[in-house]
A and B are shown apart, each in its own frame.
Chain A
Amino acid sequence: MDALIQQFFNLDIMSRALPLVLQGLQQTVLLCLIVIPLGLIGGLIFALASLSGSRTVRWGMIVAIDFFRAVPPLVLLIFVYSGLPFAGIRLSPLTAVAVAFFLNTSSYYGEIYRAGIESVGRGQWDAARSTGLSAFATLTHVVLPQAVRNVLPDLVSNTVEVVKLTSIASVVALPELLYSADMARSVTFNASPIVLAAAIYLCMLWPVVRLISRLERRMAS
């Protein structure tokens, strides 16, 4: 029991690792501020393209979305970061993460938006258009607000997945939360710094996970 506490909850080591881990947290927050908006906007574009009137665009987009949902994000990231340099495209860790995340998260967000837009009745479109609203105004003022409300739990839950996913940026040496904690782990030969990082992830995401459960239950009833 004592060994367990020494190895996983060593407060002394945690307090020494704290400054480094907090620096990592800063990077993680920054990373989230980049990749979440990018995914939300990219997802909307993907969704609109997958609902396009042109059959070619629609099917092309569905194939692309399934393609990026089939490749594990870590594989995509390593491909972008250490595969593309062979073709002369050398990206910094941050850019590589942004590119890989854009492709992966936009596909997931795209599917959610699409389900949301499809859940809004066709009559809403027709009614809005017949009152003289342009197609764009119909989309932004009539369809999207209802669509987003219908799939809100899924959007929030996917955002939690994206925040969790930023931890794989540690593999390409981007000094985010997990990377910093793992640095401290390798110096101290003790898992406590990673437990500290886990605690920080929990503080950030547990309330959101609770919120999702509540939202889902409310939607179900």
Chain B
Amino acid sequence: MNAFLETFFKPNLIAQYLPSILKGVVTTIEIALAVVITGLALGLALAVIRAFQVKPLNALIVVFVDMFRALPPLVIVLIVYFGLPNVGVSIPSFAVLWLVLSLVLAAFAEEIFWAGILSVPKGQWEAARSTGFGFLATLTNIVLPQAVRLTVPPITNRTVAITKNTALGTVIGVPEILNQATTAQSFSGNATPLMMGALAYIILFIPVVALGRFLETRFAWRRN
């Protein structure tokens, strides 16, 4: 038991590395929030554009969505991070992570929002249009409020899953939690910093995972 505590919860190491882990927590939260905002906004915008049913535009959206759903995020991160500097575009590593994860989230969010828009019965459209609402007004005032409500649970779960990918930033040296923890581990030769990093993620993400579980039972996404 004592050996276990010495290996994973050594008090003086906890005190020594707490500041750097906390710095990592701040970085992780900053990137995660930025990804959630831009990713969801872009996803919703794409779903709205898709509702206009412009054929060539829709084809482009579907290709974008499919590609970002089929590619592992780490692959995209590495392509952008190692490829762009060689063609003269250099962006800092945290911006690479933010950009890639935003695009991935946008792809998944578009698909979910679009499914939500489709799930609103046609009668709602027809009724709104016949009372004199324009297309855009129908979409934003009648259809989207109903569609978005339906999509809350799947969007929450997907958003959590994608923001957890901020840990991939460690591969390209973004100083987020995992990066701070592995650096501290290699300096200290002890697993305590890694345990602290894992605990930091659990403290950050357990509430959102639990929220997702609550939302799922609350507004159950009924299939039939």
- Could you say which residues of chain A place their CB within 8 Å of the CB of B3? 87
Which stretch, A12-20, A35-43, A136-144, A166-174, touches the partner chain B? Answer: A166-174
Contact B194 A185 (CB under 8 A): no
Is A27 on the interface with B (CB-CB < 8 A)? no
Contact B74 A75 (CB under 8 A): no
Distance A201 CA – B68 CA, assembled complex (angstroms):
11
Is A132 on the interface with B (CB-CB < 8 A)? no
- Could you say which residues of chain A place their CB within 8 Å of the CB of B224? 219
Distance A8 CA – B175 CA, assembled complex (angstroms):
27
- Could you say which residues of chain B place their CB within 8 Å of the CB of A129? none
Q: Is the interface of B mostly helix, strand, loop or mixed?
A: helix
Distance A171 CA – B165 CA, assembled complex (angstroms):
14
Kindly state the interface size class of chain A when it binds its partner: 35 or more
> Contacts A72-B167, A216-B115 given: A178-B78 contact, CB under 8 Å?
yes
Closest to A168 in B: B74
Contact A75 B206 (CB under 8 A): no
- Could you say which residues of chain B place their CB within 8 Å of the CB of A160? 69-70
- Could you say which residues of chain B place their CB within 8 Å of the CB of A94? none
Distance A220 CA – B165 CA, assembled complex (angstroms):
29
Contact A220 B119 (CB under 8 A): yes
Tell me which residues from 54 to 107 in chain A have a Cβ below 8 Å from any Cβ of chain B.
Answer: 66-67, 69-76, 78-79, 82-84, 86-87
Contact A83 B191 (CB under 8 A): yes
Contact A167 B79 (CB under 8 A): no
- Could you say which residues of chain A place their CB within 8 Å of the CB of B86? 3, 7, 189-191
- Could you say which residues of chain A place their CB within 8 Å of the CB of B202? 67, 70-71
Is B82 on the interface with A (CB-CB < 8 A)? yes
Contact B191 A87 (CB under 8 A): yes
- Could you say which residues of chain A place their CB within 8 Å of the CB of B82? 185, 191, 194
Contact B70 A202 (CB under 8 A): yes
Is B75 on the interface with A (CB-CB < 8 A)? yes
> Contacts A150-B223, A191-B86, A198-B75 given: A75-B167 contact, CB under 8 Å?
yes
- Could you say which residues of chain A place their CB within 8 Å of the CB of B166? 72
- Could you say which residues of chain B place their CB within 8 Å of the CB of A66? 206, 209-210, 213
Distance A182 CA – B79 CA, assembled complex (angstroms):
9
Highest count of chain B CB atoms <10 Å: which of A66, A83, A216: A83
- Could you say which residues of chain A place their CB within 8 Å of the CB of B4? 87
Give the 8 A-B CB pairs with smallest separation, nearest first.
A191-B83, A70-B205, A72-B167, A167-B72, A205-B70, A86-B191, A164-B72, A72-B164
List 29 contacting pairs A-B, 8 Å CB cutoff, sorted by A: A3-B87, A8-B87, A69-B160, A70-B201, A70-B204, A72-B201, A74-B178, A75-B167, A75-B201, A78-B194, A79-B198, A83-B191, A87-B7, A160-B69, A167-B75, A168-B74, A171-B171, A194-B75, A194-B83, A198-B76, A201-B70, A201-B71, A202-B71, A205-B69, A206-B66, A206-B67, A219-B224, A220-B115, A220-B223
